[in-house]
Structure 1
Amino acid sequence: MRPEWQAILANLKRFFQCYVQRCQQDQVSMIAGYLAYISLLSLVPFIAVMFSMLRAFPIFNEYRQSIESFVYANVIPSRGDEIQAYISQFIGNTGGMTTVGILALVFVALLLIHNIDKTLNKIWRVTKRPRPIISFSIYWMILTLGPILFGSSIALSLYLIGLTRFADDYTPGLSTVLLGVVPYLMSLLAFYILYLVVPNIKVQTKHALAGAFLATVLFELSKRGFALYVTHFPSYDTIYGALALVPILFVWIYLSWIVVLLGAELTALLQQLAATGGERMPDEQDSNDL
């Protein structure tokens, strides 16, 4: 083996070891469990607020059912239809809530955004945070404008898929290919925006893209593996019966947060290496500073 290839492999090994060490130091598995718990409590309020914002714009009425089906089919594997039915029922029950109840829903949804922001900034080692009023304004903007941008992107994707069906006469299978590619692109874009915008520090585009690519690959592999397990090993249904959906949903949310945090760790590590010029790995730098 040539010396340059040996050096490349050695650097890759050191990089991987540093990445694993960073994930262990940040206790990714434990933080993912905490975020999964918060997410499970905030899931219905967050989705209720999101779709309430979409209902405020008549342009989304035509695509509402398609948007909901697209989200549940491509985010929650195997049991998406069942979870959609339950969540839709829960959201329907919020229609008779008082003003205090609605404000409580909004507060719980904002709590989820706050915990995501705090966790990612901790991964990036960001200690300087904006004032509470500024943070609240940002969270409110995400809660109100986020669903609109999210719904617009999905509606545009569905519209383009609809247009390609007319082109199938000239290019057979074009709509099928586009329909298969769109979920991957949506996942990549969502992770990319998350890693680029949420940290209270300037993140380079290429680093956010690398982390988003890793998270997208892991997310798609997790979806397939989890769907395979739920379909062929229905132990949850046997043990929990009608309540099986709760642990299934919790485990899936936990795996999803593991994926998000692993992508964030890669982005933050690349950012840290770029800041030090890449001459020393972070573990070497830390040991020399002791």
Structure 2
Amino acid sequence: MALPEIKARWEQYKPHLVHFGTTFIARCKSDNITISAGHLAYVTLLSLVPFIMVFFTILSAFPAFATVRNELEQFIFSNFVPTAGDVVHEYMSDFVGNASQMGAVGILSLLLVAILLISNVDKTLNRIWRSQSDRPIIYTFAIYWMVITLGPLLMGASVVMTSYLVGLAEFAEEYTPGLGTFLLELVPSFTALAAFIILYMLVPNRRVPVVHALGGAVLATMLFELSKKGFALYVTSFPSYQVIYGALAALPLLFLWIYLSWIVVLLGAEFTCSLSEAFPEEVKDKANDSDLPEG
């Protein structure tokens, strides 16, 4: 592409880029994403044990995933709860083990608490998109149930695929040293990217273009990886929280990490909405039409 064409494209999209930047900042301020993230973090902390229990209960119903449960737990806690993953994993395993001894009424109550988390995420994202989340009750229940049932299956399938890639990486390591390890390190990032795309496309009660959802998912994935590194650096370099909280140090750390994660999720959602406002599909259509030869 020649320099005059680049300048012409820049002049064409410059107003939209400026509008996008101002819209993104204004949306983040008006939606109070820090307050929303705090609310979601509190609900997540309350729903974490019920959700994990329902998660693994559904996964255990499929014998094909029975052998990868431990690998799945290690994959989740090592890649999505940095540094303190082992401690949190130990506590979560104890909590889930105690909850698994409950009766049918107790299991049902845990399921309702897990649905409460999904409902709050649904309402928060629809508020960001300025859309009503008042879907028909049957449709809403179907979506929530799909998240609860298909989520474990997709995670189990991803871990099975990761185990397969580990075998390939060990084989490829003999011929291309370092390549297999590099590709395996990208698996959590691609898993998070796919999860963000699905979240931004399916949860809002309106049509979200794939390109816009991809843009928000890329931003959220990058921020998520940076947050993991920054959080791990804080935990290892400034261990004063252990002196203050002692044996309960894992709890505030977990809450802080969940809070940072929800801020990342909401920033990606605001980014996706701002893209939809600054670059509506008709702009893209006009740009495509302008490339067509006249006559």
Q: TM-score, normalised by structure 2?
A: 0.88
Provide Cα deviations, 1:121-171, integer angstroms capped at 9, x if missing partner: 111111262112321121012111221112112221221222221222222
For the Cα contact (< 8 Å) 1:49–1:106, is it kept in 2?
yes
Counting aligned pairs with the same residue, the percent is: 53
Work out the CA distance in 1 between the residues paired with 2:46 and 2:276: 33
**SS where residue 62 of structure 1 aligns?**
helix
Work out the CA distance in 1 between the residues paired with 2:170 and 2:196: 29
* 2:131 aligns with one of 120, 126, 133: 126
* 2:114 aligns with one of 109, 112, 126: 109
Structure 1 residue 270, shift from structure 2 partner = 1.2
* 1:22 aligns with one of 14, 17, 27: 27
Name the Cα RMSD after superposition.
Answer: 2.0
For the Cα contact (< 8 Å) 1:162–1:175, is it kept in 2?
no
**SS where residue 208 of structure 2 aligns?**
coil
Structure 1 residue aligned with 2:53: 48
Work out the CA distance in 2 between the residues paired with 1:168 and 1:224: 26
Structure 2 residue aligned with 1:284: none
Provide Cα deviations, 1:28-67, integer angstroms capped at 9, x if missing partner: 0100000000000001110111011111111112211111
State the one-letter code of the partner of 1:89: D
**SS where residue 126 of structure 1 aligns?**
coil
Structure 1 residue 227, shift from structure 2 partner = 0.7
Structure 1 residue aligned with 2:225: 220
* 1:139 aligns with one of 141, 144, 149: 144
1:195 paired to 2:182: no
Work out the CA distance in 1 between the residues paired with 2:221 and 2:281: 27
Structure 1 residue aligned with 2:37: 32
Work out the CA distance in 1 between the residues paired with 2:249 and 2:173: 42
Provide Cα deviations, 1:201-236, integer angstroms capped at 9, x if missing partner: 111110000000000010011111111011111121
* 1:178 aligns with one of 174, 183, 196: 183
State the one-letter code of the partner of 1:198: V
CA 1:109/1:128 → structure 2, altered by over 3 Å: closer, same or farther?
A: closer
Provide Cα deviations, 1:151-196, integer angstroms capped at 9, x if missing partner: 1122212212222212222222232112111111111111111111
**SS where residue 173 of structure 2 aligns?**
helix
For the Cα contact (< 8 Å) 1:161–1:178, is it kept in 2?
no
1:257 paired to 2:262: yes
Query: Runs of 5+ in structure 2 lacking a partner?
Result: 285-295
* 1:75 aligns with one of 57, 65, 80: 80
State the one-letter code of the partner of 1:219: F
Structure 1 residue 90, shift from structure 2 partner = 0.7
For the Cα contact (< 8 Å) 1:165–1:174, is it kept in 2?
no
Work out the CA distance in 2 between the residues paired with 1:149 and 1:79: 25
**SS where residue 67 of structure 2 aligns?**
coil
Query: Runs of 5+ in structure 1 lacking a partner?
Result: 280-290
**SS where residue 50 of structure 2 aligns?**
helix
